[in-house]
Structure 1
């Protein structure tokens, strides 16, 4: 287990494992720590020769290539700020991130580059083949300097960039490696996108422990099963929809027993799912976790408590302070709901070039905070029990969480009305057994053009942002301020879902009675 180190370091110092030990295991073979360190230095040297100024942003829009693994370290070694872009995003979302971040360089693939328009990259140098320059040594400087901008959806509008320092990334890696008890013999199968904080930390926490990461882009659950067998994976991080798929897949007994550690975030595990995971992966410890990009990770539940407290999100992780704050600003009593507030050195530096939204989410810590300073006020409601375990109660904002992705309703709505098929639209997340939430769009417009709308959205939005259903109405309700009444629309959709579920239950009961 990696020892806790409260002293933050530059994140590109993290490749400190045994030089001959594997750092990356992929279809190309094994990249040792010594080889990875050399490649990071040469990639940083190439970046340094690209006529970029210190602090410029460089973006990557890549699948899980070795360059995608190493660029977060190479960029900061060259004095630049890394902007990873989710490979599932399409042209409109990528163009927004490039423009908003002011990226000067984009490393991508030819097929992806061909989808971008000239205006999207007018100020961006696009490269499809990385170079190798003179090897640069590890960086030095202020650990609080900006290292990365990770884009995440807001409850309204387009994605916003969360600013992360070297200290944020280093201490996050150190914390996770410690509480997961990672050791150099571990092999972490990296299935989550590196553009997510949870996915990127698969790299950093693994390397902090001197272990190996096996990056994987997969199309089917069977690909994950085969990869566990191929690389001898001991650790797998996932989100609830992925666990549903993996539980439905066929697992050779030997492959299932290889896994020693399962980590979950991006949505709560149900008691039924916990039991199923226990049965399928009998040798694996299960780590439920809760977090948000603005503070990286907040809590984890000790595997020893999962069976007795399946509804809990656990306790604060190392280097974090998690508080439940009542409406009056005081610490909420045990069993009393309040806002979950996160303080300490894992708190991000705010949103890139967005002081208004930064001021809303990043505010002074409560007076009783042991860290003080700036805290992240999550907008999520939670409560603490008498044993100090936390339970998530609900999300106060309007974010849709589908298949582990946080989706902005405003971004979906903007895309829906952009083609003129609809005049107004409201996107709502509804409960879904497989996805966590599915997207339903209530809209006013020409119902006869639904086919055109669906075809256009398939071209313009990634798969995880596609609505499952459209509900066309002649008018949409408004509140006293003249705004669309989202609460009324959400209630009507939820009521429909309950009515449909009850109807299905009645049919099932009737079928059961007829069989007696």
Structure 2
């Protein structure tokens, strides 16, 4: 079996750390030896389904120990894991099932009804015994006692992940077994993870950032403590009671963590077990940094920037978080990053261009989507004006990320915008992210802000700002302050107040700008 697969980590951990706690969830825990046994039982059952090699198996359930066992069992076979976050609606699940031809779904009692409503005609497995026609983990653990052996190749497809954005019809990104091992190795290295660490499993396991917590824990023979974030008080209890040392979070969770009466937040002494906090998937604000440093004064805080097409591009060293908090950092180990302009030449310091990712952690492409794959996965010839390609023996693939960034004089990168988000107005390109950042810095009373555009024949597109706050701020006051920080062509033409802003149903980190735009256009008819 290849050493470049998660299966090899499970077997090695069970051999060398058989009695070590691998996973804990509330009052339950499981050792590495017990974990391997249960993974083998489920993998054996999946193998007996006799599906063609490479068949896709979905997991659509709430977080729990059985969910992790299911993930590792699929990765122990020659099938492909397709995580389906429980936040998805039935029609979104049906879209993914059809898009990648899922043959089997592993679920729980709560999601069975959703699956049955879409008339799924493949195999269904439930964690709990539901009714006689649906096999369950309970039955598998009771009756499947045979030894299980497998061969997994590092280059084989391992996972297809989907992220629903504004369009509602995403393309799945294909991740190999080698990709999973590489991502665990590099994160364990630059975060300096240790065997005695306890990693918090608060992220959902539908994307690589969440899945990586499982794999890093296995890689270092550490412990994964599962938790579902609902209330800040419960989360703090999780950190204290589970003696968590490493926490991976989304920025929205960091905000929610401190959305509590100050007197109800535990003292720094009670939270002193935590040594590392990471953030990815959004902008880290000065307030987040301030709150973390107040309650976790000795923690190493890493801000990171990942891609859809590659596991991760950059991270910011904790020592730099107060010096350059807006930076996404520098390239992670084994990665080269370049910023190029539309002519293919390298941008000068502080000149905005497209981020090109070369080196490790590049995924295999988009599932059944040759056009989308060709748009992002490029020949290294795209860098012919930047690096010396003399003597190249193969046509190397790099990722044209679609991220607009710039690099400062010291080599630190700064995110500006996604290519698709850029607004063209009065002959200029405007980044919504840049305007939103200025609003965030200068209007602490504003809770959320969305910058987007609507058509305007005279100036191409006009800029719209929609914001939420406890009370409305006079538009002239907002405009006056923004003029002190932004060029005139970047000032919003319309400023709209709403008590709350809509979020994307399957991604509570993002404001649904398309809904806001549609609402505004309807009102202008």
For 2:167 and 2:349, the matched residues in 1 are separated by 33
For 1:316 and 1:110, the matched residues in 2 are separated by 43
Q: Deviations over 1:429-472 (max 9, x none)?
A: x9888999677999xxxxxxxxxxxxxxxxxxxxxxxxxxxxxx
Tell me, yes or no, if the aligned pair for 1:152 and 1:162 is still in contact at 8 Å.
Answer: no
For 2:388 and 2:157, the matched residues in 1 are separated by 25
Aligned ranges for residues 215-364 of structure 1 at < 5 Å? 215-249=226-260, 250-253=264-267, 254-364=269-379
Aligned ranges for residues 345-424 of structure 1 at < 5 Å? 345-365=360-380, 366-367=383-384, 368=387, 373-398=396-421
Pick closer, same or farther for the CA change 1:344–1:134 going to 2, 3 Å. farther
Equivalenced residues, count: 433
- How far has the Cα of 1:504 moved from its partner? 8.9
For 1:233 and 1:271, the matched residues in 2 are separated by 24
- How far has the Cα of 1:277 moved from its partner? 1.2
For 2:273 and 2:207, the matched residues in 1 are separated by 26
Tell me, yes or no, if the aligned pair for 1:24 and 1:213 is still in contact at 8 Å.
Answer: yes
Tell me, yes or no, if the aligned pair for 2:44 and 2:148 is still in contact at 8 Å.
Answer: no
Using structure 1 for the length normalisation, give the TM-score.
0.76
Say which SS state the counterpart of residue 164 (structure 1) adopts: strand
> 1:14 is matched with which residue: 9, 27, 32?
9
Tell me, yes or no, if the aligned pair for 2:249 and 2:279 is still in contact at 8 Å.
Answer: yes
For 1:169 and 1:138, the matched residues in 2 are separated by 21
Pick closer, same or farther for the CA change 1:439–1:51 going to 2, 3 Å. farther
- How far has the Cα of 1:119 moved from its partner? 4.5
Say which SS state the counterpart of residue 494 (structure 1) adopts: strand
For 1:26 and 1:373, the matched residues in 2 are separated by 43
- How far has the Cα of 1:197 moved from its partner? 1.2
- How far has the Cα of 1:190 moved from its partner? 1.0
Question: Is 1:214–2:214 an aligned residue pair?
Answer: no
Q: Which residue of 1 aligns with 2:203?
A: 192
For 2:360 and 2:447, the matched residues in 1 are separated by 31
Aligned ranges for residues 81-92 of structure 1 at < 5 Å? 81-92=80-91
Say which SS state the counterpart of residue 237 (structure 1) adopts: strand
Q: Which residue of 2 aligns with 1:416?
A: none
User: Runs of 5+ in structure 1 lacking a partner?
Assistant: 1-6, 400-427, 443-475, 510-516
- How far has the Cα of 1:157 moved from its partner? 4.8
Q: Deviations over 1:116-139 (max 9, x none)?
A: 345440245354523243556564
Q: Which residue of 1 aligns with 2:34?
A: 35
- How far has the Cα of 1:70 moved from its partner? 2.4
- How far has the Cα of 1:73 moved from its partner? 2.2
Question: Is 1:144–2:143 an aligned residue pair?
Answer: no
Question: Is 1:205–2:216 an aligned residue pair?
Answer: yes
Aligned ranges for residues 4-83 of structure 1 at < 5 Å? 9-15=4-10, 16-17=12-13, 18-83=17-82
Tell me, yes or no, if the aligned pair for 1:228 and 1:255 is still in contact at 8 Å.
Answer: no
Pick closer, same or farther for the CA change 1:248–1:194 going to 2, 3 Å. same
For 1:273 and 1:167, the matched residues in 2 are separated by 34
Question: Is 1:183–2:184 an aligned residue pair?
Answer: no
For 1:331 and 1:135, the matched residues in 2 are separated by 58
For 1:187 and 1:40, the matched residues in 2 are separated by 21
Tell me, yes or no, if the aligned pair for 2:24 and 2:224 is still in contact at 8 Å.
Answer: yes
For 1:394 and 1:223, the matched residues in 2 are separated by 35
Tell me, yes or no, if the aligned pair for 1:167 and 1:345 is still in contact at 8 Å.
Answer: no
- How far has the Cα of 1:259 moved from its partner? 1.2
Say which SS state the counterpart of residue 107 (structure 1) adopts: strand
- How far has the Cα of 1:111 moved from its partner? 2.5
Tell me, yes or no, if the aligned pair for 2:450 and 2:465 is still in contact at 8 Å.
Answer: no
For 1:111 and 1:435, the matched residues in 2 are separated by 37
For 2:397 and 2:448, the matched residues in 1 are separated by 32
- How far has the Cα of 1:479 moved from its partner? 7.2
For 1:226 and 1:320, the matched residues in 2 are separated by 38
Q: Which residue of 1 aligns with 2:508?
A: none
- How far has the Cα of 1:385 moved from its partner? 1.9
Q: Deviations over 1:189-236 (max 9, x none)?
A: 111110021111111112212211111113212221111111011111
For 2:146 and 2:345, the matched residues in 1 are separated by 53
Q: Which residue of 1 aligns with 2:180?
A: 169
Q: Deviations over 1:451-503 (max 9, x none)?
A: xxxxxxxxxxxxxxxxxxxxxxxxx85879xxxx9x73xx4532788996444
For 2:187 and 2:447, the matched residues in 1 are separated by 25
Using structure 2 for the length normalisation, give the TM-score.
0.75
For 1:392 and 1:372, the matched residues in 2 are separated by 28
Q: Which residue of 1 aligns with 2:164?
A: 153
Q: CA RMSD in A?
A: 3.3
Answer 1 or 2: higher relative contact order, Cα 8 Å, separation at least 6.
1
Say which SS state the counterpart of residue 303 (structure 2) adopts: strand
For 2:468 and 2:58, the matched residues in 1 are separated by 41
Q: Which residue of 1 aligns with 2:490?
A: none
- How far has the Cα of 1:364 moved from its partner? 1.6
Tell me, yes or no, if the aligned pair for 1:8 and 1:166 is still in contact at 8 Å.
Answer: no
Say which SS state the counterpart of residue 224 (structure 2) adopts: strand
Tell me whether 270-279 or 7-16 shows the greater mean CA deviation: 7-16
- How far has the Cα of 1:276 moved from its partner? 2.2
Tell me, yes or no, if the aligned pair for 2:340 and 2:353 is still in contact at 8 Å.
Answer: yes
For 2:99 and 2:351, the matched residues in 1 are separated by 40
Say which SS state the counterpart of residue 46 (structure 2) adopts: helix
